[in-house]
């Protein structure tokens, strides 16, 4: 089969992981890159040996024949770039947060659907191997029917040095990090009908909230708590581990710090180490996230080959983004927010 010709837009902090990911995957080549900042374009172009470089995405779409485009810019540029890809009939991957608003995201899904173009959101946390291991246990039936979940991300890691824009936005932890954890809750326990949210800002040097606690009713009957903090100083810093508790009718799952998975179920208790592999180009503590980048990008290639919708398609991600919007609305009103009207 001919090699897929991809292009990447946005050569910033995180895109380097995506470029490594593409290099690891067979049957794909990134043939062109684009960044409006010539310095970033040069750094990534030189590091990965990409000769075709553009400072303007429109010029890149006009000048290249592409099988897909990978958008790794921040949220404000996502809608115009995704719509540009749709106009050029180029299948598109878009980084999270998919869009600044749910209305933008719905328009992006519509544009791609009408153009007949596949659209995947780079929602990679559910692709982390420890999270996949938890899902495999749930699917096996070992703990029966889940009725409670706690999906937790608490840290004091300095994310602002690598991503300074995170300190300046009115919204922070729910939109940037909570979005992943809410997506994991959906992945493990199904869609959500109602969410109740409390937030706080502990770090006075940032503009947005750095603590969020969300209580959710899942459509299938389970209740979950999603709690996120970048203001939690622990004896051992867990970044970027998501810790999970699931209670089911026949047992429990605990994913604890150090990637220790304990399953107490129908066949007894099993403790295992589900540490993600350290890829040759990866570095601790980011290796968990870096491995998931390869997994989601491989999934995209497999879906393109089979002509099937990716698990984290644009349409799927509307449900995660709706949770983000509902969480901010509920944090302000202090009332529970129903998801139904948002998703209409």
Q: Report phi then psi at 335, rounded to 5.
A: -105, 155
Q: Which residues of this chain interact with ligand 89V, rule CB under 6 A? A: 159, 163, 176-177, 180, 240
Nearer to ligand NAD, 196 or 229 (CB): 229
Residues 6+ positions from 19 with CB-CB distance below 8 Å: 8, 30, 44, 47, 48
**Secondary structure class of 172 (helix, strand, coil):** coil
User: Smallest distance from the beta carbon of 19 to ligand NAD, in angstroms?
Assistant: 11
Nearest one of 102, 55, 54 to 75, comparing CA atoms: 102
Nearer to ligand 89V, 106 or 180 (CB): 180
Q: Using CB distances below 5 to 8 A depending on partner kind, what does residue 175 bind out of ligand 89V, ligand NAD, none?
A: none
User: Smallest distance from the beta carbon of 287 to ligand 89V, in angstroms?
Assistant: 13
12-51: contacts with ligand NAD (CB under 6 A): 12-15, 34-37, 40
146-205: contacts with ligand NAD (CB under 6 A): 163, 165, 176
User: Smallest distance from the beta carbon of 9 to ligand 89V, in angstroms?
Assistant: 17
Is residue 95 a contact residue for ligand NAD (CB under 6 A)? yes
Distance, in Å, from the CA atom of 331 to the CA atom of 14, rounded to the nearest integer, reads: 29
Q: How far is C-alpha 243 from the geometric centre of its chain's CA atoms? A: 16
Nearest one of 333, 188, 167, 179 to 246, comparing CA atoms: 188
Among 32, 69, 82, 96, contact with ligand NAD (rule: CB under 6 A): 96
Q: Using CB distances below 5 to 8 A depending on partner kind, what does residue 177 bind out of ligand NAD, ligand 89V, none?
A: ligand 89V
Write the interaction track for ligand NAD spanning residues 272-311; mark x where CB under 6 A is met and - where it is not: -----------------x----------------------
User: Smallest distance from the beta carbon of 227 to ligand 89V, in angstroms?
Assistant: 15
User: Smallest distance from the beta carbon of 176 to ligand 89V, in angstroms?
Assistant: 5
**Extended strands (E) in 62-191:** 68-71, 92-95, 119-122, 146-154
Q: Using CB distances below 5 to 8 A depending on partner kind, what does residue 122 bind out of ligand NAD, ligand 89V, none?
A: ligand NAD
Is residue 77 a contact residue for ligand NAD (CB under 6 A)? yes
Contact criterion met (CB below 8 Å) for 10 and 95? yes
Nearest one of 194, 189, 196 to 215, comparing CA atoms: 196
Is residue 132 a contact residue for ligand NAD (CB under 6 A)? no
Neighbours of 275 (CB within 10 A): 14
| DSSP symbol at 233 | -
Contact criterion met (CB below 8 Å) for 127 and 298? no
Is residue 323 a contact residue for ligand NAD (CB under 6 A)? no
Q: Using CB distances below 5 to 8 A depending on partner kind, what does residue 184 bind out of ligand 89V, ligand NAD, none?
A: none
Contact criterion met (CB below 8 Å) for 321 and 106? no
Nearest one of 84, 90, 94, 82 to 117, comparing CA atoms: 90
Binding site for ligand NAD (CB under 6 A): 9-15, 34-37, 40, 57, 72-75, 77, 95-96, 122, 124, 163, 165, 176, 289
């Amino acid at each position: 089969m001919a090699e897929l010709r991809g292009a990447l837009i946005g050569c910033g902090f995180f895109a380097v992981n995506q470029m490594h990911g593409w290099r690891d995957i067979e049957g794909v080549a990134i043939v062109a890159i684009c960044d409006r900042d010539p310095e970033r374009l040069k750094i990534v172009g030189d590091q990965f040996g990409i000769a075709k470089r553009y400072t303007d995405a429109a010029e890149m779409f006009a000048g290249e024949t592409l099988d897909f485009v990978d958008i790794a810019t921040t949220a404000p540029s996502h809608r115009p770039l995704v719509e540009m890809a749709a106009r050029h009939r180029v299948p598109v991957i878009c980084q999270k947060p998919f869009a600044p608003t749910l209305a933008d995201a719905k328009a992006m899904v519509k544009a791609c659907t009408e153009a007949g173009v596949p659209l995947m959101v780079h929602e990679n946390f559910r692709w982390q191997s420890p999270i996949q291991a938890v899902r495999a246990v749930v699917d096996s039936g070992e703990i029966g029917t889940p009725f409670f979940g706690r999906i937790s991300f608490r840290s004091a890691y300095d994310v602002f040095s690598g991503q300074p824009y995170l300190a300046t936005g009115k919204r922070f932890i729910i939109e940037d990090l909570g979005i992943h954890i809410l997506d994991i809750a959906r992945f493990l326990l199904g869609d959500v009908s109602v969410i109740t949210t409390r937030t706080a800002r502990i770090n006075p040097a940032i503009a947005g909230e750095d603590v969020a606690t969300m209580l959710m009713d899942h459509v299938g009957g389970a209740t979950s708590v999603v709690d996120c903090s970048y203001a939690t100083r622990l004896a051992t810093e867990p970044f970027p581990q998501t810790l999970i508790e699931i209670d089911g009718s026949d047992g429990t799952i605990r994913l604890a710090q150090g990637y220790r998975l304990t399953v107490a179920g129908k066949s007894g208790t099993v403790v295992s180490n589900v540490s993600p592999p350290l890829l040759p180009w990866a570095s601790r503590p980011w290796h968990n996230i870096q491995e998931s980048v390869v997994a989601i990008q491989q999934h995209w290639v497999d879906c393109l080959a089979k002509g099937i919708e990716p698990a984290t398609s644009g349409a799927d991600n509307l449900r995660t983004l709706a949770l983000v919007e509902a969480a901010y609305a509920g944090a302000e009103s202090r009332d529970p927010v129903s998801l139904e009207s948002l998703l209409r």
